[in-house]
Amino acid sequence: MTLLESFIEDYKHHFLKVVPKFDESLIGTLKKTQYFLLDEKFSPSVQLKIALDKLQRRAEEPMKVAITGQFSSGKSTFLNALLAKNILPTGITPVTSKVNYIRYGQEFKIKVRYLDGRDEYHDISNISHFTDQREFVEDIAYLTLYAPLDILKDVVFVDTPGLNSQAHSDTETTSRVLKEVDGIIWLTLIDNAGKKSELEVLENYLGEYQNKSLCVLNQKDKFTPQQIEQTTEYIKEAFGEFFSDVIPISAMQALESRSHDKKVLIQACLETFLKSLHVRLENTSGTIDFEAIKSQFEAYQIDLKTILQSDLSANISLLEDSNIDKVLSFIQTQIQPKANESKDFAIKKEIKNIASKLIAQHTLFNAIYDELLGEITQFEVEEKEKFSQLKLKFSNDLKSAFMRIEQIIDTIADAIYNQIATQKRVRYEAQMHGMIIKKIDYLPFEYQAPKINADQIYKTLFYEENLIGKMFKQYVKNLMLIQNEVNENNKAVYVALEKRILKWQTPYEMIRKSDDIHSDIEFANIRKFASKAYENILKPFSDEIADSYAKISSEFNHLSSAVSFNYQNATEVCVAFLENKIEKSLQLYEENPTKFTLYQPKLDEIKERLRTSFHLYELENMMNTNRTFLSKDYDRLIEKFATLKDEKIAFLQKRKERHYKMIGKIEALLQEVL
């Protein structure tokens, strides 16, 4: 490998996530599923890991075969025969009151699972204390018996309470177990087989398990071959809908013969030697007595030789007569292939179910975002229409307010015009006298000159009745009403959005996952997102309304102050202007009456002068055009709200896109593993 290739490999190892290769076995499928679904980007829950680990254990564990039947059918004896060891207690009453799982283990021991979740481990000699209905075992959930027996490497036996037990809970427990196991062995006594009571039990509990059920007729050693054959054929014909096969056996013969099998005897001999050796070594406080150990080992070798040299042909014949091997053969050739196929199907179905739940979780989140998107989009339609209506309404209100100023100016103009009178004035005009000696005389001429009674104007308009002051106070009050109504209506538009968002927010602030395997982190994130609806969605809209409020208030203050604070000054300026113009015209007229005429103010001219003094043209641009400041602000709000809507949609679509990617990854995984 070159230096560059080595560098690339090191880089990939340290910085790149290299996806491992998985085989196409069921275990490989599960490992691949775990690798992808438990990746941190999925924020997996502890329950999801537990569920996948449970599937992993289910894939790795042997098939389960339940042993069931009616009371006193010899289930425990039959199981002991299968195991070739007297492990389970037997009795006249329904001894097995709890489900017993019999599994492979390195040593004999019992695990007791209590209803509160506690586990206790005990020596196998204490098993009857935990299984016998005559003991107080109400707080026990189930038992697991571990045994170092080869048969248990391929099969887990489930010893169940009888289906006609006196305890109703035992029957319910057995019924539940039958649904979970891969195979069922229905054990009944030959002389009880086919009774009406048994038919009722089979119809109630085994009607749907024919493809994985075997009927075992026990105690064949008590009947003649002809009786056994007749009963077997009758059961096959009468109960064929419940069982794949019917096999007569003798559990006692099988147990007796298998307990004397050479392999069993050798194993028992070894266990005895190892146990005694363990006791000796455990009790040794000082020097080990190697001579005693040697003596024990020699005795073990003698016993082993005796077993190997013994003639066990009778046991072999007894084993054949017991028919137990046919049961084992049925388990291996009928139940196991179906169990493997069923396990493969069930686990892949559960993988699909888990994936569907995770997809449903992300679909739910997108539906939540879609709901929010719908609220925002629908609001924009309503908001745009509302702002357009407000724009039209308040533009007309502003025009009406402007017309009110025009009316005030007309009132002032009329007052000024009505106080323009005439006064007698004398002018002197030069006259020439004499034919020879010229003499100039200045002769007086009377004429009527215009005069504005300013004091009376001010007295009428401002001092006595304060007519104009009252009119402008009403004008300012009217402006304030318009301003408040504008801001209230604008705020109402925002409040409508706020109500929509808060209505959306309420259920999702407290949303909890509906399935254990759903992600706690993802649901916490959606709750956090919902709780921050103001920051995530509302705040920019609220800020725009606040900004509009400030701008509109400033403009209305300008409109109020522009005329209401200087109306007297503007009137005085107008009167002074007219007086000055009259005075100048008088001067020109008296200097040259033939060339200049007296200036006589007209009403329209007074109005125009007042408009100038009141800066009315500036106000007209603000109040009496199609582009008033309110129109501009509403156009700005509509445009800004549309921009904010687009930003929020993009923001939510981005969040949705993440969940779509998750869904895509899960669906791609399903395509690969199923």
pLDDT higher than threshold 50 for residue 92: no
Average pLDDT over residues 305-324: 69
Q: Are 296 and 278 in contact (CB under 8 A)?
A: no
pLDDT higher than threshold 90 for residue 627: no
pLDDT higher than threshold 60 for residue 34: yes
Range with the poorest average pLDDT among 21-30, 193-202, 284-293? 284-293
* Distance of alpha carbon 289 from alpha carbon 271, whole angstroms: 21
Per-residue pLDDT tens over the stretch 503-531: 999 999 999 999 999 999 999 999 999 99
* Distance of alpha carbon 206 from alpha carbon 166, whole angstroms: 19
Percent of the chain predicted with pLDDT > 70 = 86
Amino acid 505 reads Q
Instruction: Compute the CA torsion angle 408, 411, 415, 418 (nearest 10 deg).
Output: 150
Q: Kindly provide the b/e burial profile for residues 204-236, where b requires at least 16 CB atoms within 10 angstroms of the residue's own CB.
A: ebbeebeebbbbbbbbbbebeeeebeebbeebe
pLDDT higher than threshold 90 for residue 350: yes
* Distance of alpha carbon 393 from alpha carbon 289, whole angstroms: 113
Q: Are 428 and 491 in contact (CB under 8 A)?
A: no
Q: How confident is the model at residue 310 (pLDDT cuts 50, 70, 90)?
A: low
* Distance of alpha carbon 366 from alpha carbon 361, whole angstroms: 9
pLDDT at 356: 95
Q: Are 204 and 85 in contact (CB under 8 A)?
A: no
CA distances from 485 to 140, 481, 549 (A): 74, 6, 11
Q: How confident is the model at residue 94 (pLDDT cuts 50, 70, 90)?
A: very low
* Distance of alpha carbon 341 from alpha carbon 325, whole angstroms: 23
429 vs 449, higher pLDDT: 449
Bridging pattern class, strands 245-248 and 119-122: unpaired
- Stated pTM of the model: 0.67
pLDDT at 436: 66
Highest mean pLDDT among 92-96, 118-122, 439-443, 462-466 belongs to 118-122
* 3-class secondary structure, 29: helix
Strands (E), 561-658: none
* Distance of alpha carbon 140 from alpha carbon 111, whole angstroms: 11
* Distance of alpha carbon 104 from alpha carbon 114, whole angstroms: 21
Report the candidate in 173, 192, 191 with the shortest Cα–Cα distance to residue 181: 173
DSSP string, 351-403: HHHHHHHHHHHHHHHHHHHHHHHHHHHHHHHHHHHHHHHHHHHHHHHHHHHHH
pLDDT higher than threshold 50 for residue 344: yes
211 vs 414, higher pLDDT: 414
* Distance of alpha carbon 191 from alpha carbon 163, whole angstroms: 18
551 vs 134, higher pLDDT: 551
* Distance of alpha carbon 639 from alpha carbon 7, whole angstroms: 55
* Distance of alpha carbon 128 from alpha carbon 649, whole angstroms: 68
pLDDT higher than threshold 80 for residue 455: yes
pLDDT at 129: 76
Q: How confident is the model at residue 93 (pLDDT cuts 50, 70, 90)?
A: very low
- Give every CB contact of residue 359 below 8 A, 6+ residues apart in sequence: 663, 666, 667
Q: Where does 158-284 have alpha helices with state H?
A: 168-180, 196-205, 225-238, 251-259, 262-283
Highest mean pLDDT among 17-21, 289-293, 600-604 belongs to 600-604
Per-residue pLDDT tens over the stretch 642-657: 999 999 999 999 999 9
pLDDT at 307: 60
Per-residue pLDDT tens over the stretch 358-381: 999 999 999 999 999 999 999 999
Report how far Cα 524 is from the mean position of its chain's Cα atoms.
8
Q: Is 325 exposed, middle or buried (0-12, 13-18, 19+ CB in 10 A)?
A: middle
